[in-house]
Structure 1
Amino acid sequence: MLAVAAGTLTACGSLQGKTDKSGTALGAAKTSTSQYLKPGERTLTPPLTGTSLTGEHIDIARWRGHVVVINVWGSWCAPCRKEAPELARLAKETKALGVRFLGVDIRDSKTAASAFEKDYGITYPSIFDPDSRSMLGFKSLASRAVPTTYVLDRSGKVAALSIGPLTARDFLPIIQGIADEKPAPSGR
């Protein structure tokens, strides 16, 4: 039912060969792909908590029951600037479906990150993560490139991901399809 096209796009190359404070290598995607995972192929999302740019405590475990879009970004990242208006548009277009959006701002300053959100009309919260630690549990799910976007189904499992900048036109059907899925029976 959902067809996901894999496209060739460039993600931020400024991470090539660098490590975060935990010593984990930060990779830069040479191409961008989107992938949809069938319900039987999905894995539970690793814990993700943090403090937003506005000081709010965020824990995505509290968002179970909602489809959640998580976008890893940085104001210094050219592809992130390219996709930011697309994400702002997606957040508005899917709000009526109960979809929640969360940014994870890495390797940035609060001033630059806040200006980025204002400039691009980002109204959803972003975890401020200058040390790139909040996404460590996700590294088994995808290479660590910026931007990367995850879509969680209502049970908190990764249902789709995109590495590299995405477009609203291509990603909207994916989000809508996941929002249209029936929730898994209790006990799963």
Structure 2
Amino acid sequence: MPGHDDGETLALRASNGDRDAERELCRRLGPAVRAFARRRLRSRAAVDDFAHDVMIEFIEALRAGRVADHSRVGGFALGICRNLARSGNRKMERRQEALERLFAPPEPTPPWDPIVLSRSRLEECVALLTDRARHILRATFTEESSDDEIAVGLSISQTNVRVIRHRSLAALRECMERPLTLERR
């Protein structure tokens, strides 16, 4: 009965053309081959394909007489696993390199109009300023008011107007130069 033979006997019988011995060897080696594949592959279909490829190569090697030591058929099957895994990795690397060469991404283009982006970014940065700072900037740059007029309107000194304007512009510059993030604060 083939189920009671040791691996060496089964391998010898299989190399002599015994199909039942081949099936029994595949049944015995299958769990180890699948365990090897599960550590490296994600999908069950890929594991099944890998195990199938290993078993085909293993049976072909038995039939062709390439298994020199029948007592080490498990190690021979593991060697096939390693070789197929290396071959698969090289194949994937070559495929990835070819894809990168053939389909290199075009120069990055902004996903939206940079002017609109800058304006909305500026609006967000201005919103972070205090009401007094926004009033001073608006009066200075849109209403073209003098420091004296702004100081009288806010009941502060001209020096204080200049200091607030200077600090506000520095804060805006820092905010605008900060890298864009997708997260809201």
TM-score by length of 2: 0.23
Which protein is richer in strand relative to its size? 1
**Structure with the greater alpha carbon radius of gyration:** 2
Structure with more relative contact order (C-alpha pairs < 8 Å, separation 6 or more): 1
Which protein is richer in helix relative to its size? 2
